[in-house]
Every structure is written in structure tokens, then in C-alpha cells.
């Protein structure tokens, strides 16, 4: 039997482990909840990796800033974890070959090798979740930057002096174009006297969530569809900037919002093409949703072992 490649995706609430066969197909998967404690996190990763058959190596994808040596500087959803030398700790506890990288960087690796961006040499992945993460392939290589911190697209400032971001800046792209951003646009519409039914259901403006407006838009509510169009415009301006920087052949959108591609993609692509530099005179990048769904992070983590 050939060696299984095992990857673990550390999420805010759960750690997902997968094992891949030689063809890259997922042949086993297991989950454990993510503890908010550094020592317990190391244990949880090893436990879930063993559960899918890890024997001598794992790749791990973690949310947050990860150095090229596998030190997790800070993770937004695992608040007690700071400056954790995750690769060294996992290696010392298991004796395995361990690779650690950012969760969206490894999702980009997976979509490039096996998903929607297979066959392209220049790829940008944008993870639209509660915030926005990213990954990039440049000239056929995963782009990591000088420290390993590249592709933190969510903190690209798109509105100087705009909405405050937990990162300490104002006007970051993820305040406008993530799930949090969608809720912001919906709340602004409610303050403006629109989305009455959603407001009545939620009880207060602050209680309106992105999902509420998504559900209403799926049911055909014209005011909710307007909010989706506003939101799509903010997604598009960031994608235009990324296109000007990277000149990608493919842009892959992943994360929670990719659950409804038919709702979001046409508006995003329409706005993107209207703002694109020299739109009529350049090849348009493929703008598409992720092909590997919720497994992208764990699959990409396993693929780090081929790196
Ligand atoms: Zn920020």
C-alpha cells in the first residue's frame, strides 16, 4: 500500500483532516473541535491526523499569519494562540515530517492542483468568509512573500478612513466584501428604510445578518437583490485591484459565500468587467467559484507534502 498524504485544516470551530490516495482523491475524513489553547491544539491536530491514518507526515493549514518556518503569529479565531511554533511542536510530538501554511494559501494550492484553476500558471484565490483571506500562484509557483505573509487580500485598504477593522486599520476590503461586509450593507439599507421585513424578523438593525439578505434575495426580494448588487460591486473593486497587481489567468472565489454562486457570480462578474483596466483589449481572466468546496483547505494542506 502506498503512503497516504494527510492534511489538516484548522478552522475557527473544527479541525478537518483528510487522507488522499495517489490520485489525490479524498479517501478518509475526520473532524474534532478546535480547542482555544496552544497545547490542546497541538494534541487535537495529531489526534485527528492519526484518525485518518497519518503515520509519517502531515500538512496543516491554519487561519492567520504563518511564517515560512511554520510559526503561527496570530489567529483571529483561536485567540489564545500567539507566536506558536506549530511546525516544530507537531514535529517534536510526533516525529513526522510536518508542513504548516496559511489556510487560504493551501486552499489556493488545492484549487490550482486539483480544482477550478487546474492548468493555469497564474492564479488568485479569494476566500470570502467572515473575513477575506487569499492565496496566489505566480509563474507556476505558490507565492508566499518574504516572510510567508503574502496574499492577505482582506486587509487591502479600499476606502481610506472607512470602517474600522479588527486589524487596527480602517477601510479594509473585508469590511465591505466578506460575510461581515454583506451584513454591513444590509444594515445600511435597513437604516435607510429598506428591507422592512428582514428588519422586523431580526428585531434590530444590528441583528441583521448576511444570511438574512441572502435568503431574501434567493426568494426574489428586489431590495435584497439591490443589496447583493452593492455587495458584488465591493467584491469586484478588490478583484480589479488584484488583477492589476497579479494579471491572473484565473480568479477563484471560495469560502462561505461560494455556497450560492448563481446569486453572487453574475453581479460580481458584471461589475468586475465594467471596472477592468483596458477591459475591451485584454484577455479576461476566468472568474469562477472553488471546485473543491469545504475540503479545499485540508486537501491543499495534504498537498504541501509534495512541495
Ligand atoms: Zn484590516
Q: How far is the CA of 125 from the centre of ligand 1 (A)?
A: 18
Q: Quick check: 8 and 58 in contact, CB under 8 A?
A: yes
Which residue's entry shows cell 475540503? 295
Q: Given pLDDT bands bounded at 50, 70 and 90, which one contains residue 39?
A: very high
Q: How far is the CA of 154 from the centre of ligand 1 (A)?
A: 7
List pLDDT tens digits, range 151-166. 999 999 999 999 999 8
Task: Give the C-alpha separation, 181 to 198, whole Å.
Answer: 17
List pLDDT tens digits, range 240-260. 999 999 999 999 999 888 788
Q: How far is the CA of 156 from the centre of ligand 1 (A)?
A: 7
The confidence score (pLDDT) of residue 81 equals 85
Query: What integer is the mean pLDDT of 10-24?
Result: 94
Contacts of 72 (CB under 8 A, 6+ apart): 62, 64, 65, 66, 81, 82, 83, 84, 86, 100
Q: How far is the CA of 167 from the centre of ligand 1 (A)?
A: 4
Task: Give the C-alpha separation, 47 to 205, whole Å.
Answer: 42
Is pLDDT above 90 for 307? Answer: no
Task: Give the C-alpha separation, 225 to 216, whole Å.
Answer: 8
Q: Given pLDDT bands bounded at 50, 70 and 90, which one contains residue 2?
A: low
Q: What backbone phi and psi angles, to 5 degrees, belong to 288? A: -145, 165
Q: How far is the CA of 151 from the centre of ligand 1 (A)?
A: 13
Average pLDDT of the chain to the nearest whole number: 94
Task: Give the C-alpha separation, 222 to 61, whole Å.
Answer: 39
Q: How far is the CA of 261 from the centre of ligand 1 (A)?
A: 25
Q: Is 41 helix (H, G, I), strand (E, B) or coil?
A: helix
The confidence score (pLDDT) of residue 1 equals 47
% of residues, the chain, pLDDT over 70: 99
Q: How far is the CA of 273 from the centre of ligand 1 (A)?
A: 26
Q: Quick check: 143 and 151 in contact, CB under 8 A?
A: yes
- Other beta carbons within 10 angstroms of residue 292's beta carbon come to 20
Q: How far is the CA of 131 from the centre of ligand 1 (A)?
A: 9
% of residues, the chain, pLDDT over 90: 87
- CA dihedral of 281, 254, 291, 86, whole degrees rounded to 10: 120
Provide the strand spans (E) within the chain: 5-10, 14-20, 26-33, 57-62, 65-66, 72-74, 82-84, 97-102, 123-128, 132-138, 141-142, 250-254, 286-289
Q: How far is the CA of 243 from the centre of ligand 1 (A)?
A: 20
Q: How far is the CA of 75 from the centre of ligand 1 (A)?
A: 13
- 182-194 in b/e burial notation, b at 16+ Cβ within 10 A? bbbbbbebbeeeb
Helix axes 103-114, 296-303, angle to 10 degrees: 80
Task: Give the C-alpha separation, 31 to 127, whole Å.
Answer: 21
Q: How far is the CA of 179 from the centre of ligand 1 (A)?
A: 14
Q: How far is the CA of 107 from the centre of ligand 1 (A)?
A: 21
Query: What integer is the mean pLDDT of 109-117?
Result: 97
Query: What integer is the mean pLDDT of 131-141?
Result: 96
Q: How far is the CA of 4 from the centre of ligand 1 (A)?
A: 38
Supply 164's cell numbers.
474600522
The confidence score (pLDDT) of residue 293 equals 86
Q: How far is the CA of 174 from the centre of ligand 1 (A)?
A: 7
Q: How far is the CA of 127 from the centre of ligand 1 (A)?
A: 15
Query: What integer is the mean pLDDT of 195-221?
Result: 96
Q: Quick check: 104 and 65 in contact, CB under 8 A?
A: no
Amino acid at each position: 500500500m502506498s503512503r497516504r498524504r494527510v492534511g489538516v485544516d484548522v478552522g475557527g470551530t473544527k479541525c478537518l483532516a483528510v487522507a488522499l490516495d495517489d490520485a489525490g482523491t479524498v479517501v478518509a475524513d475526520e473532524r474534532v473541535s478546535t480547542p482555544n489553547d496552544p497545547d490542546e491544539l497541538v494534541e487535537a491536530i495529531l489526534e485527528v491526523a492519526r484518525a485518518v491514518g497519518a503515520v509519517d507526515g502531515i500538512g496543516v493549514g491554519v487561519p492567520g499569519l504563518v511564517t515560512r518556518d511554520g510559526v503561527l503569529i496570530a489567529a483571529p479565531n483561536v485567540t489564545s494562540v500567539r507566536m506558536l511554533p506549530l511546525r516544530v511542536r507537531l514535529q517534536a510530538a510526533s516525529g513526522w515530517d510536518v508542513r504548516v501554511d496559511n489556510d487560504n494559501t493551501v486552499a489556493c494550492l488545492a484549487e490550482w492542483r486539483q480544482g477550478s484553476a487546474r492548468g493555469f500558471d497564474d492564479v488568485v484565490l479569494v476566500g470570502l468568509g467572515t473575513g477575506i483571506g487569499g492565496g496566489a500562484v505566480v509563474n507556476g509557483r505558490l507565492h508566499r512573500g518574504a516572510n510567508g505573509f503574502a496574499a492577505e487580500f482582506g486587509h487591502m485598504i479600499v476606502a481610506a478612513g472607512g470602517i474600522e477593522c479588527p486589524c487596527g486599520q480602517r477601510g479594509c476590503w473585508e469590511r465591505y466584501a466578506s460575510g461581515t461586509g454583506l451584513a454591513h450593507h444590509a444594515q445600511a439599507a435597513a437604516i435607510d428604510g429598506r428591507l422592512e421585513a428582514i428588519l422586523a424578523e431580526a428585531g434590530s438593525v444590528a441583528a441583521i445578518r448576511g444570511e438574512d439578505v441572502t435568503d431574501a434575495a434567493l426568494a426574489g426580494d428586489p431590495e435584497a437583490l439591490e443589496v447583493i448588487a452593492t455587495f458584488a460591486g465591493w467584491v469586484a473593486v478588490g478583484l480589479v485591484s488584484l488583477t492589476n497587481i497579479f494579471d491572473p489567468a484565473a480568479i477563484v472565489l471560495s469560502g462561505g459565500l461560494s455556497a450560492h454562486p448563481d446569486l453572487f457570480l453574475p453581479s460580481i462578474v458584471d461589475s468586475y468587467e465594467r471596472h477592468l483596466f483596458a477591459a475591451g483589449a485584454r484577455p479576461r481572466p476566468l472568474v469562477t467559484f472553488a471546485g473543491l468546496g469545504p475540503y479545499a483547505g485540508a486537501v491543499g494542506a495534504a498537498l504541501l507534502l509534495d512541495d
